[in-house]
Amino acid sequence: MPPLIGISCSYDQKEGRFFLPEAYCEAVVKSGGFPVILPGTGGIKSVRPYFAAIKGLILAGGGDVDPVHFNEEPQPGLGEITPDRDRFEIMLIKAALKKNLPVLGICRGAQVLNVACGGTVIQHIASGVKKPLKHFQSAPRWYPTHEIAIVDSSRLAKIIGTKAARVNSFHHQAVRQPAPGFTACARSSDEVIEAIEHPGYRFVIGVQWHPECMVDKDKNSAQLFREFIAAAGSRSKKQ
């Protein structure tokens, strides 16, 4: 049985719709997992039932994290926030870490993972970073536009097998201060944090780029997904 992978999704609060780009689900299937979308509807007060089923958690990309969760007031560059999604994903993260389930945070997912564990976020890179790169690319989603330097001894470096990689980029926020226990394991040349990981768990990694859009063309992104699904699968065999 392929491991069941829960994926959080976006919520359009004006239209009342949940939605998720299919690339997340396709990348899970191609990597040997089976995807299930987790809707963070406001009425859900506990995520425990999900954890009777899922063997790994993907936190998908999306809008901004409410800075109230890292004790900051909103700055002018902050985009749209979705309070129900923040609340739901923070519950998912805490439950996943308690069970030591593999977690892969992608873009916003890396940020909310960090915030849920006590870290902070740059609310708007263009005004919060000196000499920033273009982190919201105008190029196809699968195409890598900037380089990252990966910390040599990190889990991410072991997975990808290289200290330098090129990634796509669709973000205006980023991790500022990694949460306690987390390390910044990749940065772009403007020092923006492009990946975090927590070495104390079996597999907890957040990446600022979108590997789900690159799995067909980029071996690093394909390998990251494969390792994540393999970690989820190894857990499911033991249980």
Site for Mn ion contains 221 (CB under 5 A):
no
Provide the minimum distance between the beta carbon of 188 and Mn ion in the complex, in angstroms, as a whole number.
5
Exposed, middle or buried by CB within 10 Å (0-12, 13-18, 19+), for 86? buried
Site for Mn ion contains 85 (CB under 5 A):
no
Measured distance CA(11)–CA(238) in Å, rounded: 34
**Binding residue (CB under 5 A) for Mn ion from 123, 169, 220, 221:** 169
Integer angstrom CA distances of residue 225 from 188, 232, 237? 21, 11, 18
Longest CA pairwise span in the chain (Å): 49
Measured distance CA(77)–CA(75) in Å, rounded: 6
Compute CA 81 distance to the chain's CA centroid, rounded to the nearest angstrom. 17
Considering only the stretches 38-46, 77-85, 124-132, 135-143, report the one whose residues sit in contact with Mn ion under the rule CB under 5 A.
135-143
Choosing from 9, 146, 210, 227, the catalytic residue is 210
Site for Mn ion contains 135 (CB under 5 A):
yes
| Residue number, 51 or 143, with CB nearest to Mn ion | 143
Choosing from 107, 117, 185, 213, the catalytic residue is 107
Interface size with Mn ion, residues (CB under 5 A): 2
Provide the minimum distance between the beta carbon of 175 and Mn ion in the complex, in angstroms, as a whole number.
11
CB contact set of 68 (below 8 Å; sequence gap of 6+): none
In the annotation, is 212 catalytic? yes
| Residue number, 85 or 135, with CB nearest to Mn ion | 135
Choosing from 171, 212, 213, 227, the catalytic residue is 212
SS3 content of the chain, % helix, strand, coil (to 5): 30, 25, 45
Provide the minimum distance between the beta carbon of 194 and Mn ion in the complex, in angstroms, as a whole number.
6
Which residues form the interface with Mn ion (CB under 5 A)?
Answer: 135, 169
Q: Which residues are catalytic?
A: 107, 210, 212
